[in-house]
Amino acid sequence: MNPETFSGDAVIDAVSAVFMVVGALMSLAAAVGLLRFPDLMTRMHAATKPQVLGLFLLLFALGLQMRTWWVWPVLVVAWIFQLLTVPVSAHMVGRAGYRTKHLHPELLSTDELEAVVQQAAGKSGFTEDDGDAAAGRR
């Protein structure tokens, strides 16, 4: 290989190839996690989090391959929106899952929320859905 062909292009191709493979690996991790983890909460970890890194790597590789500067703002905006929405959806599903008891208590080493929820439930009943965990303490 003469020095001229070993230019920036080859490096960019190599970097984006690595990023794409690792990004795909993160999707695989999500799939494996969904199959292997025991309850809703642990599955949420697997289902939502690899996107953060996986999507970052895939978008980065895409940006490198497009070789035009104007795709970068779109990719950055796409990633930022992902960052803003992933925790919210994960929180909503996790919260609903906790309240509907979609978890295995024997797989929790400690549960510091349970006492607070019990207290809140004792005072206001289970029908109150919009109150937060502190409702019982106010």
- Contacts to another protein by CB under 8 A: 25-26, 28-29, 32-33, 36-38, 41-42, 44-46, 48-50, 52-54, 70-71, 73-74, 76-77, 83-84, 86-87, 90-91, 94-95, 98, 107-114, 116, 132-134, 137-138
Q: How far is the CB of 62 from another protein (least distance, A)?
A: 14
46 and 30 Cβ atoms separated by less than 8 Å: yes
Query: Which one, 3 or 73, has the nearer CB to another protein?
Result: 73
Q: Which two tokens stand for residue 35?
A: 């199959």
Distance, in Å, from the CA atom of 42 to the CA atom of 118, rounded to the nearest integer, reads: 23
Contacts of 117 (CB under 8 A, 6+ apart): 99, 133
